[in-house]
Amino acid sequence: MLRQFFSRAPELKSPREIALMREAGKLVARALGMARQMCKPGVKSIEIDRVVEDLYRTHGATPLFKGYGNPKVPFPASTCISFNEQVVHGIPGTRVIRDGDLVKLDTACKLNGWCADSAITVMVGDVRPEWRRLVKVGEEVLEIARIELGRCKWWSEAAERMQRHVEKAGFRMVEQYVGHGIGRVMHENPQVPNFVNDSVRKANFRLEEGLTLAVEPMVNMGRAETDTLRDHWTVVTRDGLPSVHVEHTFALTGGKVVVVTEPEPSEGPEAVPVQVSSLQPQAAAE
């Protein structure tokens, strides 16, 4: 969501409400799992969007991005699919995925009245090492957010650690777009910036039981500035260098941080069949 700071109290959720959000979160995680599998050279981004939308419809969920925004140019799809230097809000279409691409997949749905929002960055095939490092740092930043949500008193403390990690790696955090509270609607108070400055400190909020946040760092390899393309949606880095976007919906409940959009645990050994060859004794070390 576009940055615009104001301080209004977040709406806190009950454990029952968070459990309902978790059901939406599982479906979003499943959609992203299917989308990740489809990120292969030769696949068009619109084909991925169709699979995600079908999954939501099959489960009676509403895709939250479709029709979102300015009524004159609403977002036309259920998934934002952004390539390489595209930061966020890419529109699925006829663009074909190629070996070496970074594909950012972002999607949200509402199920039984409750929302969840998540994004992943997929590395397709042979991605150059510096781009891989960018993805790794982006994923580490989201993990830092998860850990700090459980340890800090104020959001600004977590945001400061996220920003520091990015800058230590030589990359830059995007400041024009931020995360958000989430619940019955996709974008609730508060705004959740991934960095700190004076206005962020003024709009700071306490990390308390019942808080539900979509945290979504965008990490640029080069400069932090972004531009929006003439399609009114696609956000790109101004310097053309690649960007990474990852997002989870988190909830503070029962004294813990719950990852609302975490995939369901796999269903035991049947889900991952053991290959006979891997059971053969290993050769002795030389």
Binding site for Mg ion (CB under 5 A): 106, 117, 119, 214, 216, 247
Given the complex with Mg ion, which of 53 and 216 has the nearer CB atom?
A: 216
Given the complex with Mg ion, which of 118 and 220 has the nearer CB atom?
A: 118
The least CB distance from residue 64 to Mg ion, in Å, is 9
Given the complex with Mg ion, which of 119 and 173 has the nearer CB atom?
A: 119
Given the complex with Mg ion, which of 18 and 246 has the nearer CB atom?
A: 246
The least CB distance from residue 90 to Mg ion, in Å, is 12
The least CB distance from residue 139 to Mg ion, in Å, is 15
Q: What is the DSSP string of the chain?
A: -B------PPPP--HHHHHHHHHHHHHHHHHHHHHHHH--TT-BHHHHHHHHHHHHHHTTPEESSTT-S-TTS---SSEEEEETTEEE-PPPSSPBP-TT-EEEEEEEEEETTEEEEEEEEEE-SS--HHHHHHHHHHHHHHHHHHHHHTT-SBHHHHHHHHHHHHHHTT-EE--SB-EEE-SSSSSEEEEE-SS--HHHHHT--B--TT-EEEE--EEESS-S-EEE-TTSS-EEETT---EEE-BEEEEEETTEEEETTPPPPP-SGGGSPPPGGGGSPPPPP-
Given the complex with Mg ion, which of 141 and 214 has the nearer CB atom?
A: 214
The least CB distance from residue 133 to Mg ion, in Å, is 23
The least CB distance from residue 30 to Mg ion, in Å, is 15
The least CB distance from residue 183 to Mg ion, in Å, is 13
Given the complex with Mg ion, which of 117 and 160 has the nearer CB atom?
A: 117
